[in-house]
Amino acid sequence: MPIYEYACKACGCQFEHLLLPAAKTDPVCPACQSRDLEKLLSGFALSTSELTKARVKAARTQMAQSKDHKDKQIAEAEYVKHHVEDHLPPAEPPPRRLK
């Protein structure tokens, strides 16, 4: 049975609608009962490999768009590190036991 995804143009919510062959009812927004809906491409129709390919492609595009992505990540990591170090109490030497 095909499952279609819809986005409600009225309130913006997205929902899945199972299209039953017997019941020829139009999908209605569960949130606001609007019938002003936009049909989305459902992941149901895509095979897993196609979905993975699409995700990899999307990730690569995202990476290409942000050239300094890695630099930013490193800078953020170092910032966090410094930030944490600044707020940590100074490391105390292990207590020595006097004999």
Which residues are near Zn ion by CB under 5 A?
8, 10-11, 29, 31-32, 34
Q: Which CB, 11 or 51, lies closer to Zn ion?
A: 11
CB-based contact 39:6 (threshold 8 Å)? yes
Q: Could you tell me if 3 and 39 are in contact, meaning their C-beta atoms sit under 8 angstroms apart?
A: no
Minimum Å gap between C-beta 12 and Zn ion is 7
Q: Which of 12, 41, 14, 17 is nearest to 27 (CA)?
A: 17
Q: Cα-flanking dihedrals φ and ψ of residue 23, to 5°? A: -90, 110
Cα–Cα distance measured from residue 91 to residue 96, given in angstroms and rounded to the nearest whole number: 15
- Output 40 or 77, the one with its CB closest to Zn ion: 40
Q: Minimum distance between the CB of residue 45 and Zn ion, rounded to whole angstroms?
A: 23
For Zn ion, the closer CB: 32 or 75: 32
CB of 4 to Zn ion, least distance (A): 15
